[in-house]
Amino acid sequence: MHNPNFSSGPCSKRPRWNLEFLKDAPVGRSHRSPLGKEKLAKAITDSKRMLNIPDNYLAGIFPASDTGAFEAAMWTLLGPRPVTALVWESFSEGWANDINKQLKLNPTIVKADYGFLPDLNSIDWSNDVVFVANGTTSGVKIPNWDWIPANREGLALCDATSAVFAMEIDWSKIDVLTYSWQKCLGGEAAHGMLILSPRAVARIEAYDPPWPMPKIFRMKKNGKVDKAIFEGDTINTPSMLCVEDYLDALQWADELGPANLFKKSLGNLKVVEDWVARTPWIDFLASSKEIRSNTSVCLSVVSDKVRSLAKEDQAKFLKSVSSDLSKRGVAYDINSYKDAPPGYRFWCGPTIDEADLKAALEELEKVYNEKIKTL
């Protein structure tokens, strides 16, 4: 059966998923019951094993998806050192704004336009550095982890929500990493994962932020990191239905194997690359191949006829094409992000099958060619 789901969050469920796989969810049970704790602990330990997270790193489940996990990290850890925020799309800009306007830390903001990266080799690592591994709204990823020094003074805080399970992570270059269940494994929304290195743990234990700390961000108890949080004793009540769904996604991913998850996503990107190469009116938003995302693949329409339109008319035309694809049940949710340049965005993570992507691109080309004649 054709799968038309290409949303970049919540992302497509794994192949052959159905509600029957959640029949063992302990709904109506306390998350603090032995069974609830067992399920939550398994979600953490299986994630650590599959992502090859070092044994001396902590991983915990946090509320409010990747956003909640990353906000908890920033509010808890930032302050003792100057902060540099790297911005090249909407969510990284959101982190920079929160550091500036909410925490009032006057960060150095190093910014690049959509489709580009700032100069990663010019970063001052005496600062704490906040960045995304993959720009979900721009289709631009970091090319590698080499630009982060092993002997850095500051902490590296990385939002990797649309990278984890589809791209390699060099844990030696990470002090804080967050992701959500709803991206590469197609889990349900509202739950995030927070991973801390020993350096991050030491910072938490040595530093008390000057601002009031919301309860859902508090991970310190009696001057130490509360290890229970990172063993499944969540700060607030999680959805055990969502936990069961994540465990199902992890089992599917484990059977496939991490290397094959990467391979599936890269294979999907290759499908788009081949299509772009033979389609003159489309191109990648990412300015170069080495920074091209293999999960949130963002495309620009480069037709002179479309580009001659005012920006709002460009967006209106492109949305009319995607609306037709949605009505035909071929491709849902492929418009570019609301703050990004007008275009299309296809989720190409490991839960997407190449055949579905090929069918969607073929229909996109057909509908576009029909509609461009009306301009």
Choosing from 223, 255, 287, the residue where a domain stops is: 255
The pLDDT-based confidence of 101 (bands split at 50, 70, 90) is very high
pLDDT in tens, 326-363: 999 999 999 999 999 999 999 999 999 999 999 999 99
Distance CA 193, CA 216 (A): 13
Residues 98 and 223 in one domain: yes
Those residues whose C-beta lies under 8 Å from the C-beta of residue 257, and which sit 6 or more positions away, are none
- Full residue range of the structural domain in which residue 250 is found: 19-255
Q: What is the mean pLDDT of the chain?
A: 97
pLDDT of residue 375: 87
Choosing from 240, 255, 270, the residue where a domain stops is: 255
Residues 78 and 164 in one domain: yes
Asked if the structure places residue 9 within a domain, the reply is no
The domain spanning residue 71 has which CATH number? 3.40.640.10
What average pLDDT does the segment 126-154 reach? 98
pLDDT of residue 249: 98
Residues 128 and 277 in one domain: no
What average pLDDT does the segment 227-236 reach? 97
Copy the structure tokens of residue 323.
Answer: 């609306």
Residues 267 and 219 in one domain: no
Asked if the structure places residue 2 within a domain, the reply is no
Residues 303 and 242 in one domain: no
Tell me, rounded to whole angstroms, the distance of Cα 1 from its chain centroid: 27
Asked if the structure places residue 8 within a domain, the reply is no
pLDDT of residue 151: 96
What average pLDDT does the segment 232-238 reach? 96
pLDDT in tens, 358-375: 999 999 999 999 999 998
Residues 55 and 136 in one domain: yes
pLDDT of residue 10: 96
Residues 330 and 304 in one domain: yes
pLDDT in tens, 196-205: 999 999 999 9
Question: Percent of the chain beyond pLDDT 90?
Answer: 98
Residues 102 and 82 in one domain: yes
Distance CA 249, CA 241 (A): 13
pTM above 0.85, yes or no: yes
Q: Is the pLDDT of residue 1 over 80?
A: no
Copy the structure tokens of residue 155.
Answer: 């902490």
Residues 278 and 186 in one domain: no
Residues 251 and 272 in one domain: no
Choosing from 195, 228, 255, the residue where a domain stops is: 255
The pLDDT-based confidence of 44 (bands split at 50, 70, 90) is very high
The pLDDT-based confidence of 311 (bands split at 50, 70, 90) is confident
The domain spanning residue 288 has which CATH number? 3.90.1150.10
Asked if the structure places residue 191 within a domain, the reply is yes
- Bridge partners (DSSP) of residue 300 are 283
10 upstream amide cis, omega within 30 of 0:
yes
Question: Based on the structure, what is the number of domains in the chain?
Answer: 2
